[in-house]
C-alpha cells in the first residue's frame, strides 16, 4: 500500500510531531509513505531529513495543488492523507486537490486537528476549508468533534502516544540535576496566554519550595517574544527566580521527555484550548509516564480518564496533589494505562485498517 501524506514534517510544529509518530509506525506495517510538505514559515527551524516542500500554507494556489498532485502520481499513491489545520492550506488548494483525487479515483482523507470556533475570521476560514473538503473522508480524534461536524464520511481515531521506557522519578530528577527531595511541577507546550501559566505561577508563589519547569518555546514573532518577556517579569515579581525554569526555546523531544519524566506532576492549566481538536501536549506528558493534571477546558475531555482534573482554588489543589501519595500513584497508573492503550503502534494499525476499507 502506498500513501501520500500531506503535512508539516521534520520541523518545530505539533502536527509535524504527530505525523512523524504516525509515519514511523505505518512504515512498520508495510505502508510505503511519501511525505509532501508546505514550505517552511519564516523563523521555523527544520530538523532531520527534509521532505519535498511544495505549497505556501494559507496562500497556496491552485497551481501548487496541481504540482502537489503530480507528486502524488509520481509516488503512485493509492491514497492521499492530509493533516489539516487552520493556516496550513488555502481552501482553493484543498478544493483543487480534492477534485483531482476524485477524477483519479484516489481516496482523500483529511485529519482535522482544529475544531470550529474562535474569532469570526477564523470561523469563516474553517468553514471554507470544510466546504473544500466535501470530497474527502474526514478523520477526527474524538466523538464530540465528529458530532460537531454533522456530516457523513467522518471517522474517529484517537491521537497517538509515543510510549517510551518510563524512568523512575528519582532517577529522572538526578539526570536533570534536581534533588530527589525537590517537589517539581512541569508544563509542556507552546507559550501562549491561553495556557494558564500565569495562574500556576501565582499558585506556586503561595507554596514553599516547589520547582516549576516550563518546557515550552516561543514563536519568532514580536507578540510571542513580548509574552515571553511578560512571563519572565512575572516570575521575578513573584520572587520565583530560584525555583522557576523558563528557557523559552523549543527543545528536542528527548529533552522534553527527560524534563517531564522528572516532574512529580505535569500541569496543563489551559483556559480554552484555542479550538484544538485535542491536546498533543497532553499526549507528550502521558508518554513520559508521569501523573497529569489538566483544567476543565474541553480540549481535555477525551482524556479525562487518564488525568486529574484541576479544581479551584488552584493553590490548594496543587498542594494536595504534591502531598497525597495515593492520588499521585493512582494518577500515574491511569496515565500509563491510557498511554499503552493509545500507543502509536495501535493507532497506526487503526489507520491502516481505515485505508484498507477505503480502497
| Assessment of whether the complete model's pTM goes beyond 0.85 | yes
pLDDT band at 165 (very low <50, low <70, confident <90, very high): confident
Q: Which among 72-86, 141-155, 241-255 has the top mean pLDDT?
A: 72-86
Superfamily of domain 169-341: Glycogen Phosphorylase B; (3.40.50.2000)
Return the CATH class of domain 2-160+343-358. Answer: alpha beta
Give ranges for CATH 3.40.50.2000 in the chain.
2-160+343-358, 169-341
Mean pLDDT, all residues of the chain: 94
pLDDT band at 274 (very low <50, low <70, confident <90, very high): low
pLDDT of residue 314: 94
Tell me the three-class secondary structure of the chain, residue by residue.
CEEEEECCCCECCHHHHHHHHHHHHHHHCCCEEEEEEECCCCCCCECCCCCEEEECHHHCCHHHHHHHHHHHHHCCCCEEEEEECCCCCCHHHHHHHHHHHHHHCCCEEEEECECCCCCHHHHHHHHHHHHHCCCCEEEECCHHHHHHHCCCCEEECCCCECCCCCCCHHHHHHHCCCCCCCEEEEEECCCCHHHCHHHHHHHHCCCCCEEEEEECCCCCCHHHHHHHHHHHHHHHHCCCCCCEECCCCCCCHHHHHHHHHCCCEEEECCCCCCCECCCHHHHHHHHCCCCEEECCCHHHHHHHHHCEECCCCHHHHHHHHHHCHHHHHHHHHHHHHHHHHCEHHHHHHHHHHHHHHHC
Mean pLDDT of 338-353: 97
pLDDT of residue 273: 63
Mean pLDDT of 18-45: 94
Amino acid at each position: 500500500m502506498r500513501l501520500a501524506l500531506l503535512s508539516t514534517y521534520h520541523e518545530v510544529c505539533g502536527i509535524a510531531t504527530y505525523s512523524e509518530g504516525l509515519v514511523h509506525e505505518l512504515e512498520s506495517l508495510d505502508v510505503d509513505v511519501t511525505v509532501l510538505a508546505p514550505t517552511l514559515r519564516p523563523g521555523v527551524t527544520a530538523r532531520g531529513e527534509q521532505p519535498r516542500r511544495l505549497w505556501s500554507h494559507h496562500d497556496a494556489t491552485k497551481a501548487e495543488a496541481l504540482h502537489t498532485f503530480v507528486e502524488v502520481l509520481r509516488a503512485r499513491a493509492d491514497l492521499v492523507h492530509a493533516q489539516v489545520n487552520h493556516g496550513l492550506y488555502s481552501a482553493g488548494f484543498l478544493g483543487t486537490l480534492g477534485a483531482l483525487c476524485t477524477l483519479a479515483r484516489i481516496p482523500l482523507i483529511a485529519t482535522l486537528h482544529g475544531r470550529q470556533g474562535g474569532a469570526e475570521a477564523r470561523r469563516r476560514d474553517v468553514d471554507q476549508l470544510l466546504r473544500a473538503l466535501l470530497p474527502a473522508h474526514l478523520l477526527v480524534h474524538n466523538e464530540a468533534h465528529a458530532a460537531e461536524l454533522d456530516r457523513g464520511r467522518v471517522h474517529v481515531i484517537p491521537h497517538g502516544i509515543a510510549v517510551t521506557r518510563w524512568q523512575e522519578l528519582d532517577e529522572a530528577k538526578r539526570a536533570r540535576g534536581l534533588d530527589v527531595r525537590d517537589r517539581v511541577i512541569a508544563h509542556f507546550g507552546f507559550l501562549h496566554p491561553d495556557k494558564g501559566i500565569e495562574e500556576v505561577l501565582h499558585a506556586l508563589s503561595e507554596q514553599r519550595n516547589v520547582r516549576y519547569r516550563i518546557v515550552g518555546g516561543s514563536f519568532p514573532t514580536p507578540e510571542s517574544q513580548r509574552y515571553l518577556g511578560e512571563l519572565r517579569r512575572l516570575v521575578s515579581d513573584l520572587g520565583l527566580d530560584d525555583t522557576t525554569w523558563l528557557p523559552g526555546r523549543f527543545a528536542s523531544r528527548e529533552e522534553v521527555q527527560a524534563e517531564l519524566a522528572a516532574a512529580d506532576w505535569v500541569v496543563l492549566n489551559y483556559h480554552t484550548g484555542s479550538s484544538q481538536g485535542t491536546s498533543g501536549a497532553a499526549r507528550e506528558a502521558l508518554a513520559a509516564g508521569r501523573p497529569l493534571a489538566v483544567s476543565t477546558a474541553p480540549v481535555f475531555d477525551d482524556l479525562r480518564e487518564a488525568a486529574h482534573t484541576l479544581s479551584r482554588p488552584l493553590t490548594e489543589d496543587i498542594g494536595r496533589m504534591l502531598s497525597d501519595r495515593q492520588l499521585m500513584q493512582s494518577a500515574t497508573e491511569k496515565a500509563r494505562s491510557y498511554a499503552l492503550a493509545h500507543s502509536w503502534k495501535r493507532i497506526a494499525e487503526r489507520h491502516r485498517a481505515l485505508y484498507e476499507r477505503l480502497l
